[in-house]
Amino acid sequence: TGGAHDGPRHSPHPDIAEVLVSSDEIAAKIVELAARVDADYAGREILLVGVLKGAVMVMADLSRALTVPLTMEFMAVSSYGSSTSSSGVVRILKDLDRSIEGRDVLVVEDIIDSGLTLSWLLKNLRSRGPASLEVLALFRKPEAVTVDVDVRYVGFDLPGAFVVGYGLDYSEYYRTLPFVGTLTPAAIERGAPA
Ligand code: 5GP
Ligand code: MG
Ligand code: MG
């Protein structure tokens, strides 16, 4: 045995307890989502709104997989105080540079957990008069199904555990891991890579 794609998933990083989604699986899913978006928006132009910082990897890969004309904007909001659970308090740290009035807006999110951030964001963006407003989230956690937000494109449904990688951080670290996984107790305790 020992092919790169079979057998158990050995941890590729000392701080990762378990890989939940491999980089190959993410890459394939991005292509699949991009094909759906391309088909749905054929003949139109998309304004991708990436939610910093978690969505940067999805934005970079998704935008390059799409073929419809598009432009990109970024917004930064804060919903988490500092650690691993949602506070429900949303603040705009960086707003869009331009008007989205009359535009076909696709919000690109990393992960939806409580959905509090997203539902606040959608209400805020809707008030700016876009022609359409949809959401693409690469990951979704179980709690999200209880929230009243309509997410048109979802990549993967994950278990409830806190995960890092592919844009997702713990104390700002681990965003550059090409896969998504859970942290070891030691890494959580340490709060930083060894
Ligand atoms: P929500 O408001 O849906 O609970 O969470 C909003 C934001 O919290 C997400 O966009 C993401 O930045 C962060 N978040 C939620 N779950 C996780 C997780 O498991 N890991 C990491 N690193 N961030 C998460
Ligand atoms: Mg996010
Ligand atoms: Mg974070």
Residue 71, pLDDT > 70, answer yes
What CA–CA distance (Å, rounded) separates 165 from 182?
Answer: 9
**What residues act catalytically?**
113
- 28-57 as b/e, with b when 16 or more CB fall inside 10 Å? ebbeebbeebeebbeeeebbbbbbbbbbbb
Say how far residue 37 (Cα) sits from the centre of its chain.
16
Q: How confident is the model at residue 21 (pLDDT cuts 50, 70, 90)?
A: very high
Q: Which of 16-20, 82-86, 117-121 has the lowest mean pLDDT?
A: 82-86
Atom 20 (ligand 1) nearest CA: 163
DSSP annotation of 99 reads -
The residue whose CB lies within 8 Å of the most ligand 1 atoms, and thus the one to mutate among 18, 78, 110, 145, is 110
Residue with tokens 């340490």: 190
- The domains of the chain are located at 23-81+88-158
User: Can you tell me the ipTM of this complex?
Assistant: 0.95
pLDDT digits (tens, 9 = 90+) for 89-105: 788 999 999 999 999 99
- Give the nearest ligand 1 atom to 85 CA: 4
pLDDT digits (tens, 9 = 90+) for 118-168: 999 999 999 999 999 999 999 999 887 777 788 999 999 999 999 999 999
CATH fold of 23-81+88-158 reads: Rossmann fold (3.40.50)
Nearest to 73 by CA among 37, 29, 105, 31: 105
